[in-house]
Chains A and B, each alone.
Chain A
């Protein structure tokens, strides 16, 4: 047999056409069929170095699970992934694979990298339909761990520790678990149903989730330290940055967190069947160029009565931090990009937003982040008429958790300082990971931190 020919092009994941999908909140990607998944899995050359595993913050055994898919053993593939990552259906959908596992895929050097994310989601979804297997659990150790926040970091840490036999309780401030997976990422990218389904694994492991419990208010961190043997803080970055320009408090100006929480968590797109309203005029602008900005723009496109949606970004498209795929989806759905544009003032009439005064920008020398610094072009001001604007310019850690806590080292933008090796904070027995230590980052980053923290917490508990 001669050398196998490598297929350079990846098998595309079937998607719903843009005209159809912008009418609802159902998932855009239809996912691989078993036939397509096998075909794509066969593109993996099973290279012995497997740089993809190194590229994955939780080190999913990628070549192994892909081999199982190529052999048609889909359930086995999912279980292989779950040895390292219990949320394949979620990570397969929301990880920025192009910056992680797929970035270093060997096939990527001569063609398109293997669609690892697409295959991961396929395996997770397939197994879920077949019924998941019971997760193995060690003998109870008698140690109790408290986790603050039920987002991706909290979930991952809870699973790792529960598997090791520790008793885990998660404290969640909102009325539903999932963190950003529920309130932030829209249903057309990650259906809430999938999040609920993958969270079932927590119940099976005996992890208790206490909802409506705000650490710092309902209970303090000090109380958790007294009642538990260790604490992991994964409270995320739930403090929206505001653009402090004139007109910020006009009616029609939202933070991305408010807009997305109303629509995703509270179901405002189904108003008045659901009680939470969301006001959006005919024309809506999103300020920012990250994934959150794309989520907001695409969400807005799907709301009744919204006709035109703009992305306003001060740099050029090349500098946008959003995933290429998201930018592509947004464009397909008719979002209008206004790059090299910066808002200077929100214009109102009788208290309601009527337009945004913007200035055109040009790029000069790169700044410390390596991106070219945008500078305003004098006298280039112009007005974009909109009734709604959503600020998606980033967020920082919410300080409530740290309220009244002494001795916890906090950085200059409110982040908790940890030892990068162990995720341990300056307080004994208290660990932290995810956005609360990095600021706005990714789901998989939070999961990678959580995994590291879980190992360190386990070690700490054994020595205690």
Chain B
């Protein structure tokens, strides 16, 4: 049984949950994720471990409300029990002392980026973090990333906070300023990761992306999460979720994320009809 120890709203439609899961907290390494199921009739969804506390036996998960399960989860308050949390899953991030690492997170992509940045810092790297949001009131975890990073650049699409523009604009500026970059690690919406990969490929900067395909079991038994990397089929849940961003077929990933879109919309609509005031819209 996995108890919610702490819950808070980070931004509109984004919640942070601290969950009691001592075994997972002990084992979790940067880049790994869990699969959770929140009710008897529920589905299994993957969520990245944003932070862990082995001493208190907790892990921190970040959840963006996009569909039925995430909206339903946002109704859960502290002390509520989540029936199933399994992990840590996936391969840990490969970390070495590269030199200067630029970590780029868009929205919920900050969850993997935060945990990875912890590992990257421990390995003695210099870190610049670029955090991308649509607008000011969606910004979160800037303080946490500042603790880990030598430099933090926040971008907003509309310029309401920090630098106006996209994460790639901030990255381009670093490159134009002649900053030496040894490694880029990125996580966030697929179009953003794709844009980052295209930019760094031009400058031949090694880049790793943490992918977010659809998953069911998360242990390599079904292949729902398969992606094409360097022309080969890989299962993101066991071979990843991180891959060489210059070799990922991002267009295929975007397409596969749409596979259940119609059904997902139907499920959300039904849920919100039944739970007024609970769907938080």
A175 contacts B37, CB within 8 Å? yes
Q: Does B280 contact A (CB under 8 A)?
A: no
CB-based nearest B residue for A350:
B255
Among residues of A, the one whose C-beta sits closest to the C-beta of B238 is: A400
Per DSSP, chain A at the interface is loop
Q: Chain B residue with minimal CB distance to A270?
A: B41
Interface residues of B in 224-281 (CB under 8 A from A): 224, 226-228, 233, 238, 252, 255-256, 258-260, 263-264, 266-267, 270
A258 touches B255 (CB 8 A): no
A279 in contact (CB, < 8 A): yes
Encode A350-365 as 1/0 by CB contact (under 8 A) with B: 0100000000000000
Known: A218-B27, A249-B256, A277-B260. A173 touches B226 (CB 8 A): no
Instruction: Tell me whether A273 and B41 are in contact (CB under 8 A).
Output: yes
Given A242-B223, A279-B260, does the pair A266, B44 have CB atoms closer than 8 Å? yes
Contact B259 A217, beta carbon cutoff 8 Å: no
Q: Are A239 and B44 in contact (CB under 8 A)?
A: no
Size band of the B side of the interface?
35 or more
B216 at the interface (CB under 8 A from A): yes
- Identify 9 residue pairs between A and B in the complex whose beta-carbon atoms are under 8 Å apart, listed by A's number: A173-B217, A238-B219, A239-B220, A249-B252, A261-B221, A275-B39, A277-B263, A277-B264, A279-B260
Interface residues of A, Cβ cutoff 8 Å to B: 173-175, 211-214, 217-219, 238-240, 242, 244, 248-249, 251-252, 254-255, 257-258, 261-262, 266-267, 270-277, 279, 351, 398-400
B37, B88, B217, B221 — most chain A CB neighbours (10 Å) = B221
| Interface contact A275-B86, CB-CB below 8 Å | no
Most chain B CB within 10 A, of A248, A249, A266, A267, is at A249
* Besides the known contacts A175-B86, A214-B89, 20 further A-B residue pairs in the complex with CB atoms under 8 A apart: A173-B86, A173-B217, A174-B217, A213-B86, A240-B222, A249-B228, A251-B256, A252-B259, A258-B216, A261-B217, A261-B222, A266-B43, A266-B216, A270-B41, A271-B263, A272-B263, A275-B42, A277-B260, A351-B252, A398-B220
Given contacts A212-B86, A266-B44, contact A272 B219 (CB under 8 A): no
Query: B228, A238: Cβ atoms under 8 Å?
Result: no
The interface residues of chain B lying within 8 Å CB-to-CB of A244 are 233
B232 (CB) vs chain A CBs: closest residue: A244
Partner of A275, one of B69, B221, B226: B69
Taking the nearest CB of chain A, how far is it from the CB of B268, in angstroms? Answer: 9
Residue in chain A with minimal CB distance to B85:
A212
Q: Which residues of B contact A398 (CB under 8 A)?
A: 219-221
- Minimum CB–CB distance from B161 to chain A (whole Å) comes to 35
In the bound complex, CA of A239 to CA of B219 (Å)? 9
Q: From A244, which residue of chain B is reached at the shortest CB distance?
A: B233
- Measured between beta carbons, the chain B residues less than 8 angstroms from A351 are 252, 255-256, 258
Check A249–B83 contact: CB distance below 8 A.
Answer: no
